[in-house]
Amino acid sequence: MNALAATNRNFMKAARILGLDSKIEKSLLIPFREIKVECTIPKDDGTLVSYVGFRVQHDNARGPMKGGIRYHPEVDPDEVNALAQLMTWKTAVADIPYGGAKGGIGCSPKDLSTSELERLTRVFTQKIHDLIGVNADVPAPDMGTNAQTMAWILDEYSKFHGYSPAVVTGKPIDLGGSLGREAATGRGVVYATEALLAEHGKSIKGLTFAIQGFGNVGSWAARLIHERGGKVVAVSDITGAVKNPNGINILDLLQHKDATGKLADFSGADAMDPNDLLTHDCDVLIPCALGGVLNRENAGDVKAKFIIEAANHPTDPEADEILSKKGVTILPDIYANAGGVTVSYFEWVQNIQGFMWDEEKVNQELKRYMTRAFHNIKGLCKSHNCDLRMGAFTLGVNRVARATLLRGWEA
Ligand SMILES: NC(=O)C1=CN([C@@H]2O[C@H](COP(=O)(O)OP(=O)(O)OC[C@H]3O[C@@H](n4cnc5c(N)ncnc54)[C@H](O)[C@@H]3O)[C@@H](O)[C@H]2O)C=CC1
Ligand SMILES: O=C(O)CCC(=O)C(=O)O
């Protein structure tokens, strides 16, 4: 099932549990605005090449729209639409004053030079600058983008609108980025995991973890789990996969990856088939890469008892059903990976106030927001007798529906 059909299905299930009327349902499902732009840039050799960029602004009932920008060859309008909708529910679950948006460019960032990436980002910003803004829509990094990408957007946007650091989050610290934002999604994943495990009388220490994706989210989650005494027994990324039943030394693996650009040939672990990562023997599985990776083909073979959805939409609804029948507990994306956008909110607040928080305060507040959201979700699981995904969806959808009604937008 494609990402949009799956996301709509989860939304409809939540809407039924909440008893929303059909007018509200429709108003919440249809995106506020969908933008598609052509971005033509000269390559370093002088030839022209065109890319298609998207920004979907899903909903702004609770505040400015918020969400990352992805650079990946498989970016398509339906997926961006689904990811924008997920952002609306995610910001509401985290209870931060935002709506949802997402953007992307269909390109392969690893095949572009730094100057080509800069030109592409600047052209994309020129095409969307009048539709984003500090109080309208605030982009951030996602797969294939990073703090440097945000710096280029900030600079290009500022040429049109004056210096506006709060127009993007996930910026470099030197340009008003927040301490702790780079690690925030992975750190939030770890706080969420701790909250879930505590409910089951367990802790990270001594449990085994398999992690798919070793970029921003995966590498930070792995490092913090390792720090807490969890055993990361398998890690994969686009370059390959490694395993060690006694636990991989993540700091050494990070050094190896930095030095060689790949996971393979790491002396502290054995090579494994990346296709086996999701079904590897472990207590906790953390997908931190692409969407739709858990599906009806592999869900039956998953060995983990807990899945923490650090990636967006890693679990297809068919896999959801199979896994729940097997008794696997899934912590859903719109909660589990909300740490990134939560610290993005702290960054935006700091920029607007012109005041910088220290990292300890950022991490403390992040933990408070993640723990509060977990207890809010559990409360709804109890009252609606539903799983964690529906607990999170009903929490987010209800908050957005209430704001929509209060603003008189239901007609
Ligand atoms: N960066 C952020 O703050 C947030 C990211 N997310 C989600 O987390 C996921 C990862 O994002 P980032 O870490 O930021 O991206 P990234 O670009 O930093 O890293 C992506 C990682 O996935 C790996 N990967 C790509 N294709 C793969 C494959 N077929 N098999 C195994 N690994 C593969 C890459 O090699 C890389 O290690 C995405 O789903 C993103 O939407 C969610 C919330 C916030
Ligand atoms: O930090 C942000 O604004 C958005 C992060 C994001 O794209 C996500 O949570 O999926």
Among residues 297, 318, 336, which one ends one of the domains? Answer: 336
In a domain, 187, yes or no: yes
- Residue 184 Cα: closest atom of ligand 1: 3
**Residue of the nearest CA to atom 11 in ligand 1?**
143
This prediction has a pTM of 0.98
Residue 376 is assigned to a ligand binding site: no
Q: What is the arithmetic mean of pLDDT over 324-351? A: 98
pLDDT above 80 (res 107): yes
| Most ligand 1 atoms within 8 A of CB, residue of 70, 75, 168, 185 to mutate | 185
What is the CATH classification number for the domain harbouring 135? 3.40.50.10860
What local confidence, expressed as pLDDT, does residue 1 receive?
84
pLDDT above 80 (res 199): yes
Q: What is the arithmetic mean of pLDDT over 52-60? A: 98
**Residue of the nearest CA to atom 2 in ligand 2?**
341
pLDDT above 90 (res 75): yes
Positions marked active-site: 102
Instruction: Kindly report the average pLDDT of the chain as a whole number.
Output: 97
Note whether 192 and 131 are same-domain residues: no
pLDDT above 80 (res 411): no
66 lines ligand 2 (CB under 6 A): yes
341 lines ligand 2 (CB under 6 A): yes
Q: What is the arithmetic mean of pLDDT over 363-373? A: 98
Note whether 142 and 196 are same-domain residues: no
What local confidence, expressed as pLDDT, does residue 144 receive?
96
Among residues 336, 362, 382, which one ends one of the domains? Answer: 336
Note whether 111 and 187 are same-domain residues: no
What is the CATH classification number for the domain harbouring 312? 3.40.50.720
The pLDDT tens digits for 238-258 are: 999 999 999 999 999 999 999
Note whether 139 and 202 are same-domain residues: no
pLDDT above 80 (res 374): yes
What local confidence, expressed as pLDDT, does residue 409 receive?
85
Note whether 108 and 37 are same-domain residues: yes
Note whether 98 and 202 are same-domain residues: no
Smallest-distance ligand from the CA of 102: 2
The pLDDT tens digits for 142-171 are: 999 999 999 999 999 999 999 999 999 999
Note whether 75 and 106 are same-domain residues: yes
Among residues 134, 166, 198, which one ends one of the domains? Answer: 166
pLDDT above 90 (res 410): no
- Residue 185 Cα: closest atom of ligand 2: 9
Note whether 151 and 193 are same-domain residues: no
Q: Please, what sign has the CA dihedral across residues 7, 10, 13, 18?
A: negative
311 lines ligand 1 (CB under 6 A): yes
142 lines ligand 1 (CB under 6 A): yes
* Residue 147 tokens, joined: 């703090």
Count of domains observed in the chain: 2
pLDDT above 70 (res 361): yes
The range of the structural domain enclosing residue 239 comes to 183-336
- Residue 239 Cα: closest atom of ligand 1: 35
